Amino acid sequence: VASLPVYKPGKSAEVAMREHALDSAIKLASNENPYDPLPSVVEAIRVAAAGSMHRYADHRATAVREALAKRHGLSVDQIAVGCGSVGLLQQLLLAYADPGDEVLYGWRSFEVYPIYTQTVGATIVAVPNRFEALDMPALLTAITERTRLVLVTSPNNPTGTAISHDELVAVLDAVPEGALVVLDEAYHEYARGSHVPDALGLVRRYPNLAVLRTFSKAYGLAALRVGYLFAHPEVVDAVDRVLVPFTVNGLGQAAALASLQVAAELSERVERTVLERERTVAVLRGLGLSVPDPQANFVWLPAGEAAAALTMKLESMGVVTRPFPGEGVRVTIGTPAENDRFVEALHACIDPLELQAHWLLPTGGGARRVQQYVERIDAARERVVEHSVRAHRGATSPDPQTGEQWDAGQVWAHLAEFGSFWLPQLQLVIDAGSPWPVPFGRTKSDPHRIAAIEAGRAHPVGEHLAAVEYSLDAVRAYVAGLADADWSRVGQHPTLGAMDVSHQLDEFLVGHVEQHLDQLDSLVPS
């Protein structure tokens, strides 16, 4: 026990005010919801407090399980409720991991993982992050016969990045019989990328998947400690066996039930946070400091060796954040006024702390370039959605190289297929880490390309739309995580020759989507 790392909660605004003799301070350190619970939820807590505090609450939180089952289209025996999602995580470790078992996770990630793993005497296998995000290919290769639990946090705390659906499926397929994959989705409601895992769909298919969610973040009930889990009934049974009696308190149960009834109003608040996150990130990149693709209610500042000093300086200006010394600083998205105060304080730190020299992602023009790609991707995504409900007629003008003319079905089929080819090709060039041009790519006569366009031209547009959105969001996330060294890589295309990363993005990914959207524009009857 003496060797366990100690869990460090975020510092409160009051403590920071005292320590720095400030008149006011804001806490952006614990990824909390900046908004109070809705009045109807507060009323439900009041009623519960007035009537029943002398009685034990329902040990199994049955009503909450039933309400969650109804809301998510699962059966009640596929749902467990615990004392926060951390409570359920601890139950999973207790139920599944013995000494000698390996518990695998990416690192840096949620800081309770090593504490819980050591508590049960299991072996930690921590795979270092890459691109300021979980390194899912490396995680896959770290799976062994002794792997018992794989903990995947998406969006990841503290980097804020999400993994893709396909990456999770690869892990689910790779783990040995009897091992469990835990998808920790404490921040799920804030994720907007269409590439993120469809956890509910996967729970229905994979008995070796457990998904953790919580009322603490998007529902704003952090102090009341209610988390939940979706999984196969056998997993639910196992975690229920190690549930501390009555640990899901009565006020929390009442508040969770009331919150589920006002889910629409709560999601409007979540949307506000998401918009604020996107606004804040655009400002940060505009200031010349890039951050990895944020999908949660916080942003990760990859300040490297300047992280501890940055936290202290922000704190002295009344902005309390969460430091990870030597790595970065995690900043929760607050109200618009709080975010403005944070950005202003950060701005004042850039020169004195020489932040650009320590920053682990692109700075200056490099940061602004990332934001330009993100904005182009978002604009392309909107155009794709608009075209998905439009009628198209006729054929495109002849392709200058091949003379090909396509109907809208062929354009859609091509848009839907090329992302899953070109993004891995870009990754191949970057992963090679070579100072010389790396061979990559295909030409227009590639038989797989032609076959995919032919096969896909009659498919429903909805299917194509989902595929295009998936790859655009995967590219959006990938581009945001590239360091300067990654941007400097060069590929060698069979006919177009040497191409740097920007050139590849323009020719084969972002610019490529725009070009085919222009074709769809030309097929809309006037």
Using CB under 6 A, list all residues that contact ligand PLP: 31, 84-86, 110, 153, 157, 184, 186, 214, 216, 222, 227
Tell me if residue 438 falls in helix, strand or coil: strand
What one-character-per-residue DSSP string does 241-304 give? HTPPTT-S-HHHHHHHHHHHHTHHHHHHHHHHHHHHHHHHHHHHHHTTB------SSEEEE--G
Nearer to ligand PLP, 186 or 367 (CB): 186
Q: Which is nearer to ligand PLP, 110 or 440 (CB)?
A: 110
Burial class (CB in 10 A: 0-12, 13-18, 19+), 462: exposed
The minimum distance between CB 479 and ligand PLP, in angstroms, equals 24
Q: How far is the CB of 163 from ligand PLP (least distance, A)?
A: 13
Indicate the residue type of 238.
Answer: A
- How far is the C-alpha of 521 from the C-alpha of 526, rounded, in Å? 10
C-alpha distances (whole Å) from 417 to each of 168, 413, 439, 456, 523 are: 20, 6, 21, 8, 20
Question: For ligand PLP, which residue has the nearest CB?
Answer: 84
Q: Based on CB atoms, which residue is closest to ligand PLP, 64 or 349?
A: 64
- How many residues appear in the chain? 526
Closest to ligand PLP by CB, 186 or 291: 186
Considering the complex, what minimum distance in angstroms separates the CB of residue 225 from ligand PLP?
7
What lies within 8 Å, CB to CB, of 379 at 6+ separation is none
Read off φ and ψ for residue 307, nearest 5 degrees. Answer: -60, -50
C-beta neighbour count of 36 within 10 angstroms: 10
To the nearest whole angstrom, how small is the minimum distance from the Cβ of residue 215 to ligand PLP? Answer: 7
User: CB 81 → ligand PLP: shortest distance, Å?
Assistant: 11
Helix (H, G, I), strand (E, B) or coil at 101: coil
Nearer to ligand PLP among residue 8 and residue 55 (C-beta):
8
Q: Which is nearer to ligand PLP, 131 or 215 (CB)?
A: 215
| CB-nearer residue toward ligand PLP: 189 or 469 | 189
Nearer to ligand PLP, 247 or 316 (CB): 247
**Nearest to ligand PLP of 222, 496 (CB atom):** 222
From the centroid of its chain, how far is CA 144?
Answer: 26
Closest approach, Cβ 134 to ligand PLP, in A, equals: 12
**Helices 84-96 and 233-241, axial angle in degrees (round to 10):** 90
Question: Considering the complex, what minimum distance in angstroms separates the CB of residue 159 from ligand PLP?
Answer: 11
Q: How far is the CB of 300 from ligand PLP (least distance, A)?
A: 12
CB of 30 to ligand PLP, least distance (A): 7
Q: Which amino acid is at 263?
A: A
Which single residue is written with the structure tokens 């300021």?
A: 132
List all residues 6 or more positions away from 121 whose beta carbon is below 8 Å from its beta carbon: 98, 99
